[in-house]
Amino acid sequence: MKHQEFFYVEPENVHSDYIVLKNQEYKHLVQVLRKKAGDSATATDGQGNAYDFFITEITSESVRGTIQKKLRKPGEPFFQLTLAQAILKGNHFDWVIEKGTEIGISRFIPLLTEHSIPDINEQKLIRWRRIALESMKQCCRSIIPEITPALKFEDLMSETGQYQLKMIAHPHQNALPTSLLLKNRPITNHPVQNRNGIAIVGPEGGFNLAEIHLAEKHQIDFVSLGKRRLRAETAGIVLSTLILDKMGEI
């Protein structure tokens, strides 16, 4: 693993043997890092492609880099994990997106539950997508995690059939730690590149009874995250880390 952050190049600025970096990326490369012609770096288009390049030209508003090597999906997990997390107060969801991107979450679903605060608007979605992009660059991933529009709990439940692994964090009487759950429900019969799962985490007030019953009906596995009551944002990252670890991604 290289210990340098990635830069972002818009897909339309990728050509057959060179790339062009503009705006913020240009400023960071030239004005902050003081890179010069001949220096090398790596840029990703956020769609699974990355390019090792060396700088061939710096103008007043762009950097042109000659591609030395094309890379496919560097930093990306095989296991595709979706985190459906009840919307949090203030800026706490920002933190979940940033850290979740670093550990390898592929998709975030802002979840609307009975006890969550429906504190979401188009501006927030735009900000979260920007945070996901910045975090992707920082941790050297090459796909920007998807952030879906907010989804109601009952609508999420009707979509859970698409996931091989389905876990909901809740101190339920049948809740088990992830290690025991995964022993009981191995997903190793699916090819590595097709494995996926969803982690579902409630709001500060927890899930209500109707939501618990709906999750039982949809055969979602109840997960215990230990004896302590975690803050919702901690629970999202802990559960995701445990799953990704067991799937060989950490």
Instruction: List contacts with ligand SAM (CB under 6 A).
Output: 169-171, 201-202, 204, 206-207, 223-226, 228-232, 235
Find the angle CA(147)-CA(125)-CA(28) to the nearest 5 degrees.
Answer: 90
Cβ distance to ligand SAM smaller for residue 139 or 212: 212
CB of 220 to ligand SAM, least distance (A): 12
Per DSSP, the three-state class of 49 is strand
- Provide Rg for the chain, Cα atoms: 20
Choice between 25 and 233, CB closer to ligand SAM: 233
Minimum distance between the CB of residue 170 and ligand SAM, rounded to whole angstroms?
5
Contacts of 130 (CB under 8 A, 6+ apart): none
Nearer to ligand SAM, 101 or 178 (CB): 178
Helical spans, DSSP H, in 90-173: 92-103, 122-138, 153-158
Distance CA 81, CA 14 (A): 29
Amino acid sitting at position 86: A
Do you know the residue count of the chain?
A: 250
Decide whether 17 or 154 has the Cβ nearer to ligand SAM: 154
Q: Which is nearer to ligand SAM, 58 or 111 (CB)?
A: 111
- Comparison of 19 and 220: residue with beta carbon closer to ligand SAM: 220
Q: Is 88 helix (H, G, I), strand (E, B) or coil?
A: coil
> What is the nearest approach in angstroms of ligand SAM to the Cβ of residue 83?
11
Cβ proximity to ligand SAM: between 100 and 202 the closer is: 202
90: alpha, beta or left, given left = phi > 0 and alpha = psi -120 to 50?
left
To ligand SAM, the closest distance from the beta carbon of 235 in angstroms equals 3
Q: How far is the CB of 229 from ligand SAM (least distance, A)?
A: 5
CB of 227 to ligand SAM, least distance (A): 7
| Smallest distance from ligand SAM to CB 217, Å | 18
User: Rounded to an integer, what distance in angstroms lies between the CA atom of residue 17 and that of residue 168?
Assistant: 46
DSSP bridge partners of 199: 83, 167
Contact in structure between 86 and 113 (CB atoms under 8 Å): yes
